[in-house]
Copies of this chain bind each other. A is one copy, B any other.
Amino acid sequence: MKRGTMPTMKDVAREAGVALGTVSKVFNDIPVGESYRQRVLDAAQSLGYQVNSYARGLKAGRTGTAALILPNAYDPYFAALADNVCQALARRGYRMLLTVTGSDPDAEQQCIRMVEQNKVDGVIGLTYNPALEISPDVPFVSIDRYFGPAVPCVASDNFGGGQLAVEKLTELGCKRLAFFRIGTDVPGEPDKRLGGFQTTCQQRGIEHTTLVLNDRDGYEPFRTFLREHIQDGRPEYDGIFCNTDRLAFYVLAMLEDLGLRVPEDVQVVGFDGVRQFGNDVYYCSTIVQPVAQIAETSVDILLREDRSDLPSLICLPVAYTPGGTTRDGEHGQ
């Protein structure tokens, strides 16, 4: 970056014949006489002046940048989040610093530090690290993970999602339901999907079971479960609610391997709302998380002026969407 070549506020002030402070005011939307404002704008235009946001950041403390911390950026749900948060921030004139941590606790903590050190105006984080230290110096909004009343958390209505899944599977005629889940056991909001499932099943007297695995168990126990629960060529559990779409895909594959037909023999519902390439077609029936709303709300809370009375948990409504790929009726739901 060539230096000395960029015009500064001082140059603009000289060109416009006004004081330095006046120029500053113009670029900070502080009321200034219209004729002055115009002169400054013209001068800035002709000089090609642009505010140096590092000088601004240094002096004013606000930098116009917020950070988003994600485990990774390739998972479709996270990618959608990154996209929407970026747009929501841009709409408010903010830039987005994206950091992927690989879910490594050290890396995450390091990222938070980097971010503090970088003096971003705020941090939105989706992290499963239970021991994460969040500096009280930087506004923080957590997604999908409740850190306690002091840290605002935005999440889907995971409990309601579990409930919805049960309702839909029931509507589709399923009699016996199974809940599948794999993943690190962390105190995140997504845990509540199980709660919603169980509670609703119990309330309605629906036969059900759950199979919750750790990451290290791998997916095979699901296959074993499915294989061992076939009677007379038909599955004992005719409705399967998977904790994520990803798991749902595996389950669909396993069912096919086992010769079970979807949806004739068994119905499958996932969670997340992973779409094909951003259009409105979903790979499988799923509880869709309102990603755009999550992003918008998080940004909204993050940038709120009055930080004295922030909500501690915001649950956004999910929706059931039948799967329909372009391969019409493939999953049949």
Contacts and interface: CB of A to CB of B under 8 A. Distances in A.
A325 interface: yes
A186 B2 CA distance: 31
A212 interface: no
Given A277-B246, A326-B249, A74 B65 contact: no
Contacts of A64: 118
A1 interface: yes
Interface string A47-65: 0001111110110010111
Interface residues of A, number: 63
Contacts of A330: 253, 256
Contacts of A1: 61, 119, 121, 137-138
Contacts of A90: 99-100
A50 B99 contact: no
20 contacts: A1-B138, A2-B137, A6-B137, A53-B117, A73-B83, A73-B86, A74-B76, A75-B277, A79-B79, A87-B102, A95-B118, A96-B98, A98-B98, A246-B276, A246-B277, A249-B326, A250-B326, A253-B326, A256-B328, A257-B328
